[in-house]
Every structure is written in C-alpha cells, then in structure tokens.
Amino acid sequence: MPAPPEAPGKDPAAGQAPIAAAAGMLDRALRRRLATDLRGAIGRGELTLHYQPRIRLADGSRRGAEALLRWHHPARGSVPPTAFIPVAEGSDLIVALGGWALRRAAADASRHPGLGQVSVNVSARQLAAGILPGQVELALAESGLAPERLELELTESLPLAEDAEVAAVLGALRGRGIGLALDDFGTGYASLAWLRRLPFSTLKLDRSLVAPLPGQPADLAILRAVRDIGRAMRLHLVAEGVETPEQRALLVGLGFEEAQGFLFGGPMPLEMLLAGGAVAPGTARPPAGMAAGRHGNA
C-alpha cells in the first residue's frame, strides 16, 4: 500500500530530526566518557601493543612489524581502535598515547632483536606540538634501541602543516637513521606533494589498491605507476591488505618488496608473534566485523 501523501509544506525529514539529534547527543556523550576513561588508561595499565608482521615477499621472512594500539577497558572490554583513536585524535590525548606507544615499542624491540624493525604510527598533533623529536629521543635513550630499527608512520590523511619546520623536524629524524613511512598511499590528494618535500624512506600502498587484485588492467596500471614512483625515489615499497596467494604473486611479479596483511598474519600480542604466530600463507583472515585502518590492521 502506498504511503499517504505528506501534508502540504511538510518536510519529509522533519520527523527524523529529533532522532538524529538524540543520536548525536548519545554519540557525544559516549565520546566524552571514552575520553575520560582514556585519560587514565595508561596509568591503569589498560593499553597494550599488538604487532602485525611485515614480510619480505621474495622469501616470506619477517622484516619487522607494525605496532598497533589496543585498549582493554575494565568494564567495556576490548574497545576497537576505530572507537578510541578518533577520540584521542580530537584532543591532546593522542600526544600522550603516541609517546607511550613509542616508548613501549622501542622497549619491546630492544628486548627482542628478532622482532626486526618496528613501525609506530605518529599523529600530526605530536608534530604540531613540537614534542615528537623529544618523544623519539626518550624512547631510544630508555630502550637503547638503534635508531635504524625504528620507523615512524605518517598517514597521508594527517593535516600536516605545509611549512619548512615540519620538513626540518622529519629531516632531522631521518638523519638519525630513523625510518619514515608514508602510510595509506593512494587514499588522498596529499601523497605526491608529501613525497616531493618530505624525506620518506618507505611507501606503504593502501589496501584499497590491493583489494581489487587480480582486478582489471587499470588496477595493474596503477600499481605499476606506484612501483615506478617508488623506485625512482629509492623508497621501500610495502603493500598493505594482502589476503590471497594470487595477490601476493601479482605483487611479486610487479616488483613490490614487502607486504602486510592477513595472508601473513593479523595484529597479535608480541609473545604470539615471537613464537611464530605469523601463520602460514593463506590461513589467516580478519575476524568478522574487525575494522581495518590506520590503528587497526592491514
């Protein structure tokens, strides 16, 4: 039966406005509660790092791992990174979380040389506050980790200021031997400009460019173009989101050097990774409902 006509002059969405407003208020209230709880999470020992292996495509050996924040709330249980990272990014909380992650990852890598190079996500707020170099130096000094075993990941969606100061800070870090990775390459407009002016050492291809493989000729053409850019700029090339042997084979044929993805292992506790938790190719898959993304999984 067709719906009755709306009264003249009545906005069809008007009845939805109170519902949307209530949902918005609930969302804001939840974010405030998460922010309050998150402020004390470090001191209460609720935060941990999980590690996702980064492998060499040529032989399947592990080159290193990406450190990913996890939060186990005493009442809410495991809070997804997609829920708490945006809350932290929207305030100064991300500065403290970023510093903690750097110190913890450096300590883990120093205690376990077999972990290889460890990659840690950093926030634009850490750079804007001028605190990132100090956080990095503290992490290295406390742990004794060699600078070459630390890599900082910046996603291209970060609102970095386009000024000489940012380039100088990153240049100084790179000069210390610390790796700089441009993450999620291919998802925004800033990538090429960033590659031109910032001293990256690694280019991480976003999962959205890998997912269509084997795909259409256009998909392969894009990957070849990225490969050529990486080679011309002498960057390590890492493909994220690799989930099938067919994708791996295509990437090897295209000349990509390294990869992450559930084909090789998802994010896991350090002990599991060191015990050989990077499962045999083809057996790992993301759990249902697990969100992907910068602090989630590749």
For residue 146 the two structure tokens come to: 């060699």
- Bridge-based pairing of strands 179-185 and 150-155 is parallel
Q: Collapsing DSSP states into helix, strand and coil, what is residue 154? A: strand
Which whole number is the average pLDDT over 58-72? 95
Global pTM value: 0.83
Cα–Cα distance for residue pair 88/125, rounded to 1 Å: 10
The alpha carbon torsion through 27, 241, 203, 84 (nearest 10 deg) reads 20
Whether residue 270 is predicted with pLDDT greater than 80 in this model: the reply is: yes
**pLDDT band for position 32 (cuts 50, 70, 90):** confident
- Count CB neighbours of 75 within 10 A: 5
Cα–Cα distance for residue pair 226/204, rounded to 1 Å: 10
- Bridge-based pairing of strands 258-259 and 236-239 is parallel
Listed residue (114, 103, 113) closest to 67, CA to CA: 103
Q: Which residue has the higher pLDDT, 119 or 160?
A: 119
Cα–Cα distance for residue pair 278/255, rounded to 1 Å: 23
Q: Comparing 54-58, 81-85, 246-250, which segment has the lowest mean pLDDT?
A: 81-85
Which DSSP state fits 102? H
Rg of the chain (C-alpha set): 21
Side chain identity at residue 237, one-letter code = L
Which superfamily is assigned to 36-43+63-274 in CATH? Answer: EAL domain (3.20.20.450)
Q: What is the reported pLDDT for 160?
A: 65
Q: Any idea which residue has 């200021």 for tokens?
A: 161
Query: What is the overall mean pLDDT for the chain?
Result: 84
Cα–Cα distance for residue pair 96/103, rounded to 1 Å: 11
Cα–Cα distance for residue pair 297/72, rounded to 1 Å: 17
pLDDT tens digits for range 155-178: 866 666 667 888 899 999 999 999
Cα–Cα distance for residue pair 265/162, rounded to 1 Å: 36
Whether residue 249 is predicted with pLDDT greater than 50 in this model: the reply is: yes
Cα–Cα distance for residue pair 64/55, rounded to 1 Å: 7
Burial of 105 (C-beta count, 10 Å sphere; 0-12/13-18/19+): buried
Which whole number is the average pLDDT over 247-266? 95
Q: State how far Cα 235 lies from the chain centre.
A: 18
Q: What is the reported pLDDT for 189?
A: 60
